[in-house]
Amino acid sequence: MIQAIETAAAFLDSIAPLTIADPEGLQLIGIVARVTTGNHHFVSVDATTGEVRACALVTSRGLIMSPTMEATDARALGLLVASTVPGLIPEARGPKASLPAFLDGYTSKHVTAKVTPHHHLLLYVLNPAALPTNVNAIGGRTVVGAAALATTEHKPLLLAFMARFYDEVGEPSTPAAIEASLDAQMARQGMYVWLVDGSVVACAGHSAPVPAPDGSFALYRIMTVFTPEAHRGNGYASALTASICHNLLALRDGPPSRLMLFADATVAAANKAYQRIGFVQKSEMITARVESTES
């Protein structure tokens, strides 16, 4: 049974057991629900016990479904979203097994909508015990250079990097949105660069922490990992990601850190690089774009 939840606070309270059971799978929903407004919140509830089994969030950027959403509930969610959320959602993301059911329900109401498969993403969780202790020696080879926090001096280059990053992953963005995102990351010291002889050859960042409902850990997502084409194949992104992981695991002013990231399933080199530094695949999700065919 699908129910709408009016406020973000009530929604986050209702999905706390899901977050504790699968913090990585709920990370995106949790952080978006906290930092954005005007969203539509939904939960799947067991009609007999009242237990919340799954959840979903609809923002201006589209739908996000939790990994536990089953196909039957996903189709019911599609019907409800189509009936209650104005306009056409631009994107939908969720479990590979149930997102098609959501889209089936949704497009049965929005009959002029065109659905285009977009990304196939793998969710990875870091095994800290497998993280290389020396970030300059990964996978049996030496990686030159060192990590550093991004500064205002690096900003013009990072803006160019981020524009190329979003273009390569096929995510629409604007210069203003990219700059706002970069400024936010730099303001909370969440953007790093890899330097070789003083030159920036790669960048990567991390999300703001998502606290566990019981306060037992803080979850961070590694994100916007990018190496310009001319510098690829040298291990810079792996070394930088490992450095960021070490920094986050070493934090002592809060609960212990847990680390995760998403990787494109079609990019074998990136997946091997993350596995090499201790990331273990936990689940997968798919995304689809939704567009109107009306002229």
Check residues 210 and 116 and name the one with the higher pLDDT.
116
Q: Which residue, 15, 96, 94, is CA-closest to 55?
A: 15
Cα–Cα distance measured from residue 186 to residue 192, given in angstroms and rounded to the nearest whole number: 9
Residues ≥6 apart with Cβ < 8 Å to 279:
124, 125, 126, 127, 261
Phi and psi angles of residue 285, each rounded to the nearest 5 degrees, phi first: -145, 160
Domain positions in the chain = 2-121+286-292, 128-277
Q: Which tens digits make up the pLDDT trace of 95-137?
A: 999 999 999 999 999 999 999 999 999 999 999 999 999 999 9
Query: Do residues 150 and 193 lie in contact, with contact meaning Cβ atoms separated by under 8 Å?
Result: yes
Q: Which tens digits make up the pLDDT trace of 21-77?
A: 999 999 999 889 988 889 999 999 998 999 999 999 999 999 999 999 999 999 999
Mean pLDDT of 68-94: 96
Mean pLDDT of 82-95: 95
Cα–Cα distance measured from residue 98 to residue 95, given in angstroms and rounded to the nearest whole number: 5
- Whether pLDDT at 295 is above 70: no
Tokens for 280? Answer: 């273990």
pLDDT at residue 171, as a whole number: 83
Q: Structurally, what CATH architecture does the domain formed by 2-121+286-292 represent?
A: 3-Layer(aba) Sandwich (3.40)
pLDDT at residue 214, as a whole number: 86
User: What is each CA distance from 230 to 195, 198, 202, in whole angstroms?
Assistant: 14, 16, 10
3-state helix, strand, coil in the chain (%, to 5): 35, 35, 30
Tell me which fold the domain 128-277 belongs to: Aminopeptidase (3.40.630)
pLDDT at residue 135, as a whole number: 97
Q: Which tens digits make up the pLDDT trace of 132-154?
A: 999 999 988 999 999 999 999 99
> What is the pLDDT of the chain when averaged over all its residues?
94
pLDDT band at 18 (very low <50, low <70, confident <90, very high): very high
- Whether pLDDT at 8 is above 70: yes
pLDDT at residue 47, as a whole number: 87
The answer to whether 2-121+286-292 and 128-277 have equal CATH topology is: yes
pTM of the model: 0.88
